[in-house]
Amino acid sequence: MRTLALASRSHLALRALNGAYANGARDQRLGVSAFGLRFPNRVGLAAGLDKDGVAVPALAALGFGFLEVGTVTGIPQPGNERPRLFRLVEDEALINRMGFNNRGAAALAANVARVKRLHGEWLPPIGINVGKSRVVTADAAPADYRASLAAVWDVADYLAVNVSSPNTPGLRDLQATAPLRAVLAQASQVANERGQKPVLVKLSPDLDSNALSEAASVAEGEGAAGIIATNTTINRPELASAAAGETGGLSGRPVARLALSALETLVAASKLPIVSVGGVFTADDVRHRLAIGATLVQVYTSFVYRGPGLPAELSKGSVSR
């Protein structure tokens, strides 16, 4: 991230990255429209890597079809104590318990505004993922989301409401019907005041099919534009790595089965566009998710393991052979 952030400040470095890695990723045949936005391709970066929006230009230069920055909170916070991120190399997985470490919604908004001012003509859509501040109680969560959404609303192309991270105590309880409705009602109020923008809801792979369907119904009823499925899991399938016992959210290859199951459930339960994330490593994975009914896909762990050539590889391979 330090290297990508540094490269983001150099037009020469950005041109070099684009020339080396993004070839073909912006072919017009790969583009797709969803929730009122045009995406140059279907492969995006999931939230969690660039929490403060410091490397957006460099990440865009690699050929991603969209970027989701954050998760950001209204109140700046350091996150959980270190160590808090673990590689499970044998499993092609990660476990993280970062805890929404970020500099706050206002700082992220300033970073994204500056990036759009300097590079806006070639950037893909930028989503901003918003979560609950750790010190805020569950009862005050809707107001906290409202403050965060309002801070970043004007610079985001879409907003993602994160109610599914396992690393903030009580956050996942907000996926229940009444709390989720209250949070999304606040998002609707911000939209009415600041102008309509797509709001997506990010759900957990650990919800059962009934809970997923109910959350999708609430999202649709409250005017959400789409669903991101899914976040990391607290479940532990059979893993080979020594770090398998660490607490936190598991991502990567082992979560693919849960993410696919959630995708199938949501496609059957809702008409909303779905962004599928979790265990996407190959072009075959992308095509499979799209065939099931996803509109877009996101990667995170596979990008960590496979490197900067992955976005273009997946996007070019996303079309049926």
Among all residues, which ones are annotated catalytic? 165
Q: How far apart are CA 246 and CA 77, in angstroms?
A: 22
With tokens 């996926």, the residue in question is 175
Amino acid at 261: S
Q: How far apart are CA 251 and CA 302, in angstroms?
A: 9
Q: Which residues pair with 139 in a beta bridge?
A: none
Q: How far apart are CA 181 and CA 314, in angstroms?
A: 35
Q: Give the closest residue to 310 by CA, choosing from 292, 293, 297.
A: 297
Instruction: Locate 142 and state its tokens.
Output: 């809707």
Quote the DSSP letter at residue 231.
-
In order of 37, 38, 135, 201, 212, the CA distances from 65 in angstroms are 11, 9, 34, 19, 27
Q: How far apart are CA 280 and CA 140, in angstroms?
A: 35
Q: How far apart are CA 190 and CA 150, in angstroms?
A: 6
Helix H or strand E encompassing 85? strand 85-88
Q: How far apart are CA 247 and CA 225, in angstroms?
A: 32
Output b/e per residue, 289-308; b: 16+ Cβ within 10 A.
bbeeebbbbbbbbbbbbbeb
Cβ(312)–Cβ(62) below 8 Å: yes
